[in-house]
Every structure is written in C-alpha cells, then in structure tokens.
Amino acid sequence: MVIMEKETEHPAPPFEPQKVAEPEPQEKAMITVSDVDFSYGAHQVLFDVNLEIPPRAVTAFIGPSGCGKTTLLRCFNRMNDLIDGAHVSAGRIELEGHDINAPDIDVVELRRRVGMVFQKSNPFPKSIYDNVAYGLRVLGATKKSRINEAVEKSLRAAALWGEVKDRLDSSAYGLSGGQQQRLCIARALAVEPEVILMDEPCSALDPIATAKVEELIYQLRENFTIVIVTHNMQQAGRCSNYTAFFYLGRLIEFGATSKIFSNPSERQTEDYITGRFG
C-alpha cells in the first residue's frame, strides 16, 4: 500500500537506480514482445506473450498446430493487417525499441526491414531475375548496374547463384521446389532487411532441399536476425540458437536451444519434444 502511494505521488522518480547488477543480455533485443494478446475478431489466439528475440541469431518457434506461433510471426511484419478483424488486443511489439503498432509507423518501411519467407514458396510468375529485382524496383531502384549487383549478391547469399546464373531470364516456375524457396529467400534478402521471418520454409521440401535451406539459414544468421516457425523438432535443434515453445496460445518456455532440448524446465516442453503429445 505504502509503495503504491509513493509511486502515484512521484510518477517520475528523480533518479534511476543503476542496472549494473542485472543479468542483461550482451546485445539489446531485436524484437521485444511484451504482454501481447492477439485475437481474430472475438477469438483470442495469443495470451500474454513475453519474448525477446536476440539479434543475429536464429530463434525457432515450435509447438503443435494452432498454438499461435505463425500468428505471432506474422505480427512482426504486420502481415495480420491483411486479415479482417485480426488485431493485437493488448501489449506491445517493439522492433529495436520502436512500437511497430504505433499509428505513425510506416508499415511499408516496417516490412522492408522485416522480410518474410512463406510456408508455400511463392515466386512471382516472372523471370528469376525479375523476382529478385522486384523488391528493389518497388523501392525505387532504377539503375541497371545497381540492380544487377544486388540480384547477384542476393542469389549468392541464398546459395542459388551457381544453379541459376545461366538462366536468369527464364521463368521462376521452372525451378524445383527447393530452388523456388531459396529464390524466395534471395528475394527477401535483396531489400536488405534486418529481420527475416520464416514460416515453415521447409514444410513442402524433400530432405535434400531442406538440408540446403537449413544450411543457408545457418549461414545467414551471421548478418540477419532470423525467426523460424517449424514443426520439425530436428530442424529447430539443428539450425536455431534459441527456441520458444508455444502451447495453446501461450509461450511455455523460451531459452537457448541446447537447454530446451536437453534440459527443459517445463514439463509440457519436455513432453512435446520427446513426442509424448502434439
């Protein structure tokens, strides 16, 4: 009681206590999710989620279907805006300290900074070159040499250059499933985002293509913050640094992947990972 009264009397305390002793992570979080509730109309799918996604690392979201992990992922670039009635009903999501749902945020700029790779690979019905150049062109790039450079750089970064460099002008639909998905990654890389969201990027791929994409994800984390939703436990184990386990719209556990997989602190996490349910 006394403490509360004090706080109302002094809304802005004159000094901040020094935070030296606090176990802060080395770097500031790239994406901070605080107390987020999310609903589709009246149907609430996320409950009080708190999460800090560290920069230049791979964070995996795991959990059974319908647990809200894709929904949370799509909150990060406000893709849920496209769905009627979908909204963050409480809490904040911050990208480098800026509330991404604030009214003055330019959602187009947000999506440039936070790229996305979809579950079903969705190359545009254009040539391979035009697919990668698309993002640059909508951002206003017109100089041919600059676009050429960026296309090559992105395709190299997506480990696709060697396979397609001789047929950049042929249709993206002529590529195999795995190549198409890597093309979508290259396309996302071309606009130089800071964060890349991946929504089950390997769910439609065979093991060999999956291995290639995973290897790519592993390399990309040096320069990008990657958040990946996956149903594949081994995949989360193989290519992520941090893992978040969701169940029924709640974040059950979040921590280093090695810890979650070897020594989870929650019973539900252990049950899910060992395959006892889900």
Partner 1 sequence: MKIRTRQRIAQTTSFWIFRLATYTILAAATYIFLDIGIKGSRTLFTAHAPFINVPFLTQRPQTLFVFDYQGTKYTLSDSEFRVWKAQHPEEVEATSVAYSAGGVWPCIVGTALLVIGSMIFALAVGICSAIYLSEYSQNSRFIRLIRIAILNLAGVPSIVFGLFGFGLFVIFLHWNVSLLAGWFTLGLMILPAIITASEESLRAVPNGLREGSLALGATKWQTIRKNVLPYALPGILTSSILGISRVAGETAPIMFTAAYALRDEMPWQVQHWTDFVFQGVMALPYHIYVVSSKIPQNEYTERMQYGAACILLLLVFVIALTSIVLREKARRRLSW
Nearer to partner 1, 82 or 102 (CB): 82
Task: State the Cα–Cα distance between residues 258 and 242, nearest whole angstrom.
Answer: 8
CB of residue 84 to partner 1, shortest distance in Å: 6
Type of residue found at 17: P
Secondary element (H or E) of residue 186 = helix 177-190
- Give how far Cα 111 sits from Cα of 22, 50, 76, 107, 180, Å: 33, 22, 9, 6, 21
Nearer to partner 1, 134 or 161 (CB): 134
Type of residue found at 112: R
CB of residue 265 to partner 1, shortest distance in Å: 35
CB of residue 251 to partner 1, shortest distance in Å: 24
Nearer to partner 1, 79 or 252 (CB): 79
CB of residue 236 to partner 1, shortest distance in Å: 22
The residue ranges that bind partner 1 (CB under 8 A) are 77, 79, 82, 84, 108-109, 111-112, 115-116, 118, 120, 122-125, 134-135, 137-139, 173, 184, 187-188, 191
Residue 42: name the closest of 103, 102, 8, 86 by CA: 86
Nearer to partner 1, 187 or 221 (CB): 187
CB of residue 133 to partner 1, shortest distance in Å: 11
Task: State the Cα–Cα distance between residues 48 and 184, nearest whole angstrom.
Answer: 32
DSSP assignment of 86-103: EEEEEEEEEETTEETTST
Nearer to partner 1, 54 or 123 (CB): 123
